[in-house]
């Protein structure tokens, strides 16, 4: 029972939040006259001593103390004596842990927001650098239409921007203070919940004592945002894995973010990207773990909820590593734009441009233009050339409405330059999108 009941091995990482919550609580108790000014001052000073001890020596895995809350109170008692027993007046471990956990998730969210901003800065900088760099765009991992590398990287900026939004939204919802809800029904002491909420930087107190101690949706919101973010990171990591392979050859990863082989000296393995990709599975598992824990619990508190913290802690550590690694890879990667351009030019990626030209200039219905273009691609394949190198007479043999103006749209540069619709890949669009993104962040 001692081992299964104790949570100190993992909840000790909330010691800063536990001390902060206790400081706010005792200050309120003193201000309300619930404990004497002398006892409130002694407890505050004692908490400072306890915090200094934790900071200097760490928090021991003392299973007899069960959790960080009991350990802190025991150390406070050692420091100041019997007055320490007044700290727990008008609160329960239920509202105490709910408050500590919200504070921890809030701090974790702020760390993620900063890390996401750093990744976004890296994406914007590299997109600016490669606003004109042509590469093949893919569907079904088949060459589809030419795009620019800047446009491709800006797609991940959009994902990161939504991730930032999700974490910000969660922070707003989570920023209400459960302290004062006590075990489940509130307390008969004349406490000031607004004061403790303000002292801890919350927007206000939670509104229902039962809900305050019994729900962990703020933690689930964090995990949901983290899981979605990890999926975005995993997709970018997968692209780096593909692009770093010899068949693609689009990117060379720095030695800092790749590893060698134990037997093959020529290898430069994208291990960091592969680990980011792998972490996404574990982070999603953390979300599922807490969802299953919470799905059938009656109000209010049940001991199952002691298992709420390990998946959140694990998720945060993995996400922080993934964000740091992905940011480093984006910043330091060498993009082989010559290889990208060569492959963009080799896959008949401007076929759609030919079809569009027929619609615009020849007044050809798109479905007919699609069939004409298919025949043009077959001709280019038979001649072993790209579309813009097919002789005009060969194109006119397919359809007499084609004239020399068609060559203005058949190169990859002309193709990307023509995609000027809002959100399109034209280099000027990409630069405008980067400016807008930086203005949004300012």
Condensed to tens digits (0 to 9), the pLDDT of residues 328-344 reads 999 999 999 999 999 99
Give the pair of three-digit tokens for residue 286: 């953390």
pLDDT of residue 279: 97
- Per-residue pLDDT band for 192 (boundaries 50, 70, 90) equals very high
Please report the pLDDT score of residue 386 as a whole number. Answer: 83
- Of 103-107, 201-205, 286-290, 396-400, least confident by mean pLDDT is 396-400
Please check whether residue 151 is in contact with residue 145, taking contact to mean a CB–CB distance below 8 angstroms. Answer: no
Provide, rounded to the nearest whole percent, the portion of the chain with pLDDT above 90.
79
For the residues 121-146, what does the mean pLDDT come to?
A: 94
Count of beta carbons in the 10 Å neighbourhood of residue 165: 11
Contact 322, 226 (CB under 8 A): no
Query: Active site includes 36?
Result: no
256 in Cβ contact with 208 (< 8 Å): no
pLDDT score for 261: 59
Number of Cβ within 10 Å of residue 435's Cβ equals 12
Pair of tokens at residue 210: 């039962």
Q: Which of 36, 165, 245, 261 is catalytic?
A: 261
Please tell me the predicted confidence (pLDDT) of residue 387.
Answer: 85
Residue 189's pLDDT is what? 98
Would you give the DSSP letter of residue 260? -
Average pLDDT (213-218) is: 96
The CA-CA-CA angle for residues 192, 80, 92, to 5°, reads 40
CA angle 175–179–182, rounded 5-degree value: 140
Residue range 262-318, pLDDT digits in tens: 565 555 788 999 999 999 999 999 999 999 999 999 999 999 999 999 999 999 999
Q: What is the pTM of this model?
A: 0.91
102-113: pLDDT as tens digits:
999 999 999 999
What is the rounded CA–CA span in Å between residue 234 and residue 158? Answer: 15
CA dist 216 and 336 (Å) reads 47
The question of whether 140 is a catalytic residue gets the answer yes
Residues 119/146, Cβ–Cβ less than 8 Å: no
Mean pLDDT of 426-432: 96
Q: How far is CA 203 from the centre of its chain?
A: 24
Instruction: Report yes or no: 204 and 177 within 8 Å, Cβ to Cβ.
Output: yes
Task: Tell whether the model's pLDDT for residue 26 goes beyond 70.
Answer: yes
Say how far apart CA 304 and CA 290 lie, in whole Å: 10
The DSSP call for residue 410 is: S
Distance CA 8, CA 236 (A): 37
> Quick check: 97 pLDDT over 90?
yes
Query: Exposed, middle or buried by CB within 10 Å (0-12, 13-18, 19+), for 125?
Result: middle
**What crossing angle do the helices spanning 68-80 and 15-31 adopt, rounded to 10°?**
60
**Mean local confidence (pLDDT), 198-202:** 98
Pairing of strands 251-252, 142-148: unpaired
Q: Is 3 exposed, middle or buried (0-12, 13-18, 19+ CB in 10 A)?
A: exposed
Q: Which residues contact 251 (CB under 8 A, 6 or more apart)?
A: 240, 243, 244, 333, 334, 335, 336
């Amino acid at each position: 029972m001692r081992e299964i009941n104790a949570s100190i091995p993992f909840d000790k990482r909330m010691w800063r939040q536990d001390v902060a919550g206790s400081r706010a609580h005792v200050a309120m108790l003193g201000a309300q006259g619930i404990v004497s000014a002398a006892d409130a001052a002694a407890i505050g000073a004692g908490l400072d001593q306890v915090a200094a001890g934790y900071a200097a020596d760490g928090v021991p895995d003392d299973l007899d103390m069960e959790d960080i809350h009991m350990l802190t109170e025991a150390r406070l008692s050692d420091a100041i004596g019997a007055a320490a027993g007044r700290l727990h007046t008008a609160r329960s471990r239920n509202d105490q842990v709910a408050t500590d956990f919200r504070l921890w998730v809030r701090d974790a969210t702020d760390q993620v927001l900063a890390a996401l901003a750093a990744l976004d800065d890296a994406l914007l900088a590299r997109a600016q650098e490669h606003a004109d760099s042509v590469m093949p765009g893919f569907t079904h991992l088949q060459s589809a239409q030419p795009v620019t590398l800047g446009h491709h990287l800006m797609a991940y900026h959009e994902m990161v921007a939504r991730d930032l939004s999700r974490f910000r939204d969660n922070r707003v919802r989570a920023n209400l203070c459960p302290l004062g809800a006590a075990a489940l029904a509130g307390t008969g002491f004349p406490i000031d919940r607004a004061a403790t909420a303000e002292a801890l930087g919350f927007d206000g107190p939670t509104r229902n004592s039962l809900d305050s101690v019994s729900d962990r949706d703020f933690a689930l919101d964090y995990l949901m945002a983290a899981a979605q973010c990890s999926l975005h990171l995993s997709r970018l990591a997968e692209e780096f894995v593909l692009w770093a392979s010899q068949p693609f050859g689009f990117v060379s990863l720095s030695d800092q973010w790749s590893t060698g082989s134990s037997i093959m000296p020529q290898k430069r393995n994208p291990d960091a990207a592969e680990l980011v990709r792998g972490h996404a599975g574990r982070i999603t598992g953390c979300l599922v773990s807490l969802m299953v824990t919470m799905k059938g619990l009656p109000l209010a508190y049940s001991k199952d909820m002691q298992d709420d913290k390990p998946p959140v802690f694990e998720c945060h550590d993995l996400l922080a590593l993934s964000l740091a690694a992905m940011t480093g890879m984006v910043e330091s990667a060498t993009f082989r734009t010559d290889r990208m351009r060569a492959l963009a030019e080799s896959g008949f990626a401007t076929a759609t441009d030919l079809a569009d030209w027929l619609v615009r200039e020849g007044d050809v219905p798109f479905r007919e233009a699609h069939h004409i273009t298919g025949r043009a691609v077959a001709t280019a394949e038979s001649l072993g050339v790209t579309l813009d190198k097919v002789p005009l007479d060969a194109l006119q043999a397919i359809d007499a409405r084609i004239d020399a103006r068609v060559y203005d749209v058949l190169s990859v540069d002309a193709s990307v330059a023509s995609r000027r619709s809002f959100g399109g890949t034209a280099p000027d669009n990409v630069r405008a999108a980067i400016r807008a993104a930086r203005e949004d962040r300012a």
